[in-house]
Amino acid sequence: MLKHMTWLIGIMFVVAACGTAAPGSPEAVQADEANATSPAAAEPTEPTTPADDTDAEEGATAPADKAATEEEETEVKPTELAEQSPPLNAEREFTTDFSKTSIPFSEVLSGGPPKDGIPSIDEPMFISTSEADEWLEPTEPVVFLQIGEDARAYPIQILMWHEIVNDTVGDTPVIVTFCPLCNTAIAFERTVDGQVMDFGTTGRLRFSNLIMYDRQTETWWQQATGEAIVGEQVGAQLPFVPASIIAWSDFQESYPDGQVLSRDTGIQRDYGRNPYTGYDDINNSPFLYQGPKTPGELPPVARVLTVDTETEAIAYPYDVLAEVAVVNDTVAGQDIVVLWEFGTASALDAGTVAGGRDIGAASVYTRELDGQTLTFVRDGERIIDEGTGSEWNVLGQAVSGDLAGAQLESVVSINHFWFSWAAFKPETRVYQP
C-alpha cells in the first residue's frame, strides 16, 4: 500500500503542475522541459484524490457490473464513429482527419502532457558498449534490436522519458517504443505505403496505452497493436520487428561491438531515475485504466510475454516462466520455444531503473534449426537442447556444445502487463504448464 501511494501521489503531483497550462501551449511544453521530474509524467489529467486510495483503485479497474455498464454506455456503432466529436483539444493540436476512426473517442483519455510533450528522439546518437558501460549497470534493462549485423541496445532509462525513438537499423527505418504504464517495449518498421514516417507522442492514452502519431499525415497509432486508429491511415498496420527486454550485461557480452543509444539526446532529463516507483507491484491497479474488465486468469499488473498470430494469441506469465525457464510450445502450427533467465531488473520497481528487483528476461524463437525441430529442457541453471546437449542463452544463441555459434530465429514477442494485453486481445490463451 505504501508503494502504491508513493507512485500515485508522485504522478499526480506532476500532473497537477502540468495542468496549469493549456494543452499544446508553449507554457505547457516549457513547463515539461524545465520540470523533468517525470516523462511528462505518467500520464493522467483527471486523477482521483491522492488521499483516497480506495477511490483511486476503483477508478482504475471497475468491478464487473460497473465495467459492463460503462461499456454499454460508451459503445458506438460503426455508422456513428464518423459523427463523433474529436477528443478534447485534439483539433487545436492536430490536423488529423478525425472523421476517419475505428474506435469510439470515449476510449481516448488525455495523458497530461500535450502533443509531443513527451519528446521523441528523432536524431538518435549511439556510443560503444565500453562507453555505455560507464553508466549502465549489469542487470539494467535495455531493449535489444538486431537487423542483419546491426545490433543495438536502447536503455530503458532513456526510453522511460521519451517513449519513441525514430531510427534506422541496418537499412530499415524503425521506431523503438516504450509505454511505461503498460510495460510494453515494441519495435516497428516505419515505412507505410512506400513513405517513411516519423513518429511522436499524442499525449493521449487508450486503455492506459500510448497513442502515437505520424508527422506526415498526423494519423494516430496504437502502440500496443501497431494499428492506425484515427486519421488518413486508419486500418493500416505497422510491421512488427522482433525486440526484447534483456539485461545490459547480456547485450554487452553477446554484442561487444554493438551500438548503444546515447544519453546525449539534446534534452535534459534525469536519466536513470524511475518516476514510477513501485508501479509494478502485483497488488496495484493499473493507472488511469478505463476499458474492458480484465479477465481474471491473472492479476491486472502481472507480467506476461505475448505471442500473437492471425489465428491464436498466447500469454506466458513471468511467474510461470521463472519456475520452468523453458517452454516448448506450438502456436498456430509453428513450433516455438520460450527461453527465460534471471538477471534483469524491473525498470518500474525501485527509485532507479537499475535498482529494481530481478524479474528475469524472456524471449521467443522458432525451434527449427537446419531442418530439425529441437526440444529444449532445463538442466540445473542451464538450458540445453535434448538432441545435442548444447547450452543456449536467452538471446537464442548456442554458447557451448556441438551447436555452439548457432542462432535461433526470433519470433515477435512482447512484454505486457496482463491488463494491457487483455484489453486488446481478450481471447488470449494463458499458458499453464
| Per-position DSSP letters for 175-190, written without gaps between them | EEEEETTTTEEEEEE-
- Residue 45 cell numbers, joined: 489529467
What does the block give as the cell for 154?
536502447
Alpha-carbon distances of 190 from 1, 264, 284, 345, 377, rounded to whole Å: 41, 23, 34, 29, 37
In whole angstroms, give the CA distance from residue 415 to residue 182. Answer: 9
Specify burial of residue 349 (Cβ count, 10 A radius: 0-12, 13-18, 19+): buried
pLDDT at res. 78: 54
Can you tell me the distance from the alpha carbon of 197 to that of 29, in angstroms, rounded to the nearest whole number?
23
Q: How many helices (H) and strands (E) does the chain have?
A: 10, 29
The predicted pLDDT at position 77 comes to: 59
Residue 287: its pLDDT value, please?
Answer: 87
**Contact in structure between 418 and 315 (CB atoms under 8 Å):** yes
Q: Which amino acid appears at position 167 of this protein?
A: D
In 10 A of CB 328, how many CB atoms?
15
State the CB neighbour count (10 A cutoff) for residue 201. 26
Report the C-alpha gap between 262 and 121 in whole angstroms: 11
pTM above 0.75, yes or no: yes
What pLDDT sits at residue 288? 85
Q: How far apart are CA 36 and CA 34, in angstroms?
A: 6
310 burial type by CB count under 10 A (0-12 exposed, 13-18 middle, 19+ buried): exposed
Q: Which amino acid is at 35?
A: N
Residues 187, 151: Cα–Cα separation, whole Å: 13
d(CA 121, CA 372): 42
Kindly list the averaged pLDDT for each block of 10 residues, start to end, along the chain of length 433: 48 38 33 42 35 31 36 51 88 96 96 95 98 98 98 98 98 98 98 97 97 98 98 98 98 98 97 96 91 95 96 97 97 96 97 98 98 96 96 98 98 97 96 94
DSSP-derived 3-state class of residue 210: strand
For residue 203, what are the contacts with CB-CB under 8 A and spacing of at least 6? Answer: 23, 40, 93, 110, 111, 112, 113, 114, 115, 116, 117, 118
Question: What backbone torsions phi and psi does residue 329 show, to the nearest 5 degrees?
Answer: -145, 170
* CA atoms within a 13 Å half-sphere pointing along the CA-CB vector of 238: 33
As a three-state string, the secondary structure of 301-362 is: CCEEEEEECCCCEEEEEHHHHHHHCEEEEEECCEEEEEEEECCCECCCCCCECCCCCECCEE
Q: Which domains does the chain possess?
A: 303-430 (2.102.10)
Residue-level length of the chain: 433
**CB neighbours of residue 156 within 10 Å:** 26
Q: Alpha carbon of 93 to those of 22, 24, 117, 318: distances in Å?
A: 11, 6, 11, 39
Is 338 buried (19+), middle (13-18) or exposed (0-12) by CB count in 10 A? Answer: buried
